[in-house]
Amino acid sequence: MQLDKLRLDLRPRSNAQGLDLGFALLHAGGADVWRAWLALWLPLSALAVLISWYYPDLALGWLLPWWLRPLLERAPLHVLARQVFGEQTSWRDALRAWPRELGGGWFRMLTWWRPFMAGRGLHQPVWVLERARGKVATARRATIARNGTGGAALMFGSTCATFEFVLMMGVLALIGLFMPGESPNPFALFGLTDQGSLQAVLGTAAWCLACAIIGPVYTACTFTLYLNRRATLEAWDIEIVLRQLRPPARPAAARHVAGVLMAAPLLAMALLGMPPPVQAAAPAASAPPVVPVVPACEPPDGLRKQDSGRGPDLSPQQAAVRRQLDEVFAHEDLRGYRCGEQWELRVPPEKEQVKPKAPPLVPRWLAAILAGVFKFALIAGAIALVSWLLWRYAAPLRFSLAAAPEPRLATEVGGLDIREESLPADVAGAVRALWQQGQQRAALALLYRATLSRLVSRQSLKLHHGATEGECLAQARSANAAGTLDSASLTLADQATTLWLNAAYGARWPAAETVAALCSRWQAHFDREAA
């Protein structure tokens, strides 16, 4: 991940702001995104229209593009993922790369996820960009979907589906307005009785047109929501700032440059015969600053302005400042209440006359039977769906007489192997030897992972795979507060973590004496504990 080439201003945002960032990304360079999407969507839409023409009674011509749509969304995702890092990828390159990116999650996307997973765009990058598979992909998707991100993607997908339905109905209504009749009727198309093929074709075409418009918007917004979640998890904004840091200038040189910059204007004024600048005088007492007064409405009884406890004005300037502060706090955004007007009719409108009901199209007894059958089918389907979901995803709820397995301790944290067998016999001596050889990063890395290894293997500190340095230290502090970790071990873990973070991410290397003293304390504590 080359964050120095990132074209977006990524920082921790809310989910709504992360979705809104997709519109900006699509507006900045979305031509190839639309071309890549339409190059796959339009041929499939034409095939769906032909199916609707030859089989109008089924009314399922739209089913084929709807079913294959998740796989087609990976072509615009290919373009967006490279535009974010400044790489210009054409829609032809995206089409050539599209067959290679169909692997990973395709079976899930086309089977049980297809009818219910409207937030699939959040998980597409896990398979396409991260190339995660199996249990790794499952854990990664769970991590990305936390903190409300999965719910936001699901809500946005449902909103996009609603917009597609609205656009489809709008297109059909527009066609109905131009159909022959006594008066314009937007629902004329739905009243045709002998034009089943025409209705099926126009309905499928209108839906495909709506999806052609909304498809890239859905892909771009869910992709930026994924980027926003990763930026929050991995602190991309901090890493970008750290990469852009420059070493500070020497103090003497800085003072010399500042002196030259301060003396240059005075020298120029002296050469031109101009007086030196002076500080602006305070406003005269007879001419206080004029501030426009915004009329405010009377507050409610419970919010009457009370005595502020101010003393008398000591000067006209203080009185003017107080007036300005009162006018600022009187603004409607700071009042806590708003003023408004509402018009109501003095005489309520007369009740509309009840129109006579039209005779029912279906007999009541038949309607009651159909309603009962539909109700039974709906309840049975809901029970079957909930039962399947509980069987498939609620493994912790299953009753078992076997004893709960012991939690498996972490063997790798942050890419560092913390197994005890991977460490040398004399950790402190190995750290000193690496430091004397000039391998400072390797020495601090060994000291840090050896500290975590001792806490996990000998004091049963529970760390999970993928935890960051801050999360490991927070878990150690929690264990110390619970009484399962002694204060000396926590102090050594805190010092080793601080040295590792300063060196690994800030290139701030400690002094040799600091490392030697920490090694001595580390050896005295953990070797005594082992003995």
Enumerate the domain spans of the chain.
3-240, 412-530
Tokens 């937030």 belong to which residue?
119
Q: What are phi and psi of 107, to 5 degrees?
A: -70, -40
The pLDDT of residue 42: 92
Tokens 């927070």 belong to which residue?
474
At 412, which helix (H) or strand (E)? strand 412-413
The predicted model scores a pTM of: 0.47
Q: Are 339 and 332 in contact (CB under 8 A)?
A: yes
Q: How far is it, in rounded angstroms, from Cα 275 to Cα 220?
A: 60
The pLDDT of residue 350: 62
At 413, which helix (H) or strand (E)? strand 412-413
For residue 45, the number of C-alpha atoms closer than 13 Å in the C-beta half-sphere is 19
The pLDDT of residue 297: 55
Nearest CA-CA partner of 360 in 352, 351, 370: 370
Task: Name residues of the chain where pLDDT drops below 50.
Answer: 249, 252-254, 257-258, 260-261, 263-296, 302-307, 399-401, 404
Nearest CA-CA partner of 335 in 366, 368, 371, 294: 294
pLDDT-above-70 percentage for the chain: 71
The pLDDT of residue 306: 46
The pLDDT of residue 269: 47
The pLDDT of residue 166: 92
Q: How far is it, in rounded angstroms, from Cα 52 to Cα 205?
A: 9
Q: How far is it, in rounded angstroms, from Cα 188 to Cα 169?
A: 12
Helices 196-234 and 149-177, axial angle in degrees (round to 10): 150
**CATH 1.20.120 given to domain 412-530:** yes
The tokens describing 164, both together, are 């597609």
Give how far Cα 238 sits from Cα of 13, 233, 495, Å.
14, 11, 22
> Could you tell me the sign of the dihedral formed by the alpha carbons of 464, 466, 470, 471, in that order?
negative
> Could you tell me the sign of the dihedral formed by the alpha carbons of 284, 290, 291, 293, in that order?
positive
Q: How far is it, in rounded angstroms, from Cα 407 to Cα 471?
A: 18
Q: How far is it, in rounded angstroms, from Cα 209 to Cα 203?
A: 10
Q: What is the DSSP letter of 13?
A: -
Give the rounded distance of the alpha carbon of 382 from its chain centre: 32
Q: How far is it, in rounded angstroms, from Cα 215 to Cα 219?
A: 6
Nearest CA-CA partner of 22 in 153, 167, 138: 153
Residues 6+ apart with CB under 8 A from 213: 167
Helices 15-29 and 31-54, axial angle in degrees (round to 10): 90
